[in-house]
Amino acid sequence: MKTITIHQNKGGVGKTTITKAIVETLAELGKKILVLDLDGQATITDNFNIDSSESYSKHWLKRANKENRENYLHQVLLQTIEPTSNPNIFVIAGGRDLYNETDIIKSQVASEKILALNLALFEQVNNSFDYLFIDLNPAWDIYVLNAYLASDSIIQVMDRSESAIKGFLKNWDDWNEKAEAYEIQNNMNGVILNRIKSDKLSKQMLLAAQKIELIEKIKFTTFIPENTNIEKSTITGGKSVVDIKTFDNWKPTKGLIKFLEEENLKAIEGNPFKNLVNEMIKKGVL
C-alpha cells in the first residue's frame, strides 16, 4: 500500500476536490483505495457521503500498549473503515471532534510516529489496498507531522497567489528541517498548480513556477483549470468531477494557449484529473 498525503498551505475547496478526483480516477483504473480524513472539517468524509458526526480517524493516532496492540487493531482500527458507493473506495471518517483529542495524542510517547506504527500493523493483516490517501487541514500540527512521517509521497496544492507560493516555500523549509532531524529523505515530491485560467494572476503563477527552481523541479505539467463545475461537484456533493463528460474535451482558452506558447509552456488537453493521474503514475509519485 502506497501512502500519499495531499496538503495545501491555505484553506479552500481545491485540495479536497483534487484528492477526491485523484482517488476516483484511480478507482476507475481498478485500484483499491483507503482515504484517511485527518481534517476536523471532514470535507472529504462529507463528500463521500459518510457520516462525520464522529471522528474515527482519531483512533489511528492512538497507541495501544504492546500486549494489546493486536486486539486494538481488530477491535478498533479495522472497525473504523467504511465503504462508499464506489466498491473500490473506503473511508476512515474525520469529524468535528477530532481536535478535542489533540492534547491526548500529543501526550503519548513518540506521538508523531503513531500513525506510521498503526499503518505498519494494519498492513500485516490487510494488504488488499493499493493506496492510502490522507486528507489534512492547512496548519502545521501533530496530525500533519504524523501524516508526513507515514507517507511515501507528499503532494502540495498551490493556488494562483503570491501567498500560496510563499506558503509552499515555508512549508518546504519547515518539513526539510524536520526531515533532516529525523534523518529521512524529504518526500515532498509533487506540486499541483490549481485554479489556472487566462488571467494575470494565473500567468504570474505559471511564470513563478517556472523560475523558482524548487517548484519547477517537482511541479506537474498538468495543471487544474478554474472551473465552476469542479467546485460545484465538491460543495454540493454532485456528480464526481471524473464523471463530468465535458472535462474529457477540456482545452485551454485561446488567451491561455497564446500565453503558454509565448513562454514555451504547454497544456495537455482532455480531462485534467485523468491527465494528472497519468503523469503522477509515469513519474512514480503514485
pLDDT by 10-residue block (mean), the chain, 286 residues: 88 74 93 95 90 92 87 94 95 91 91 95 91 90 94 91 84 92 92 84 80 89 74 52 69 79 77 91 93
Q: Taking the model in full, what pTM does it have?
A: 0.91
Please give the pLDDT value at position 204: 80
Distance, CA of 28 to CA of 24 (rounded, Å): 6
Please give the pLDDT value at position 162: 78
Total tally of structural domains belonging to the chain: 1
- CATH code, domain with 94: 3.40.50.300
12, 50, 80, 97 from 74: Cα distances, Å:
36, 21, 10, 23
**Domain span at residue 116?**
2-282
Characterize the bridge pairing of strands 89-92 and 81-83: antiparallel
H or E, element range at 143: helix 142-150
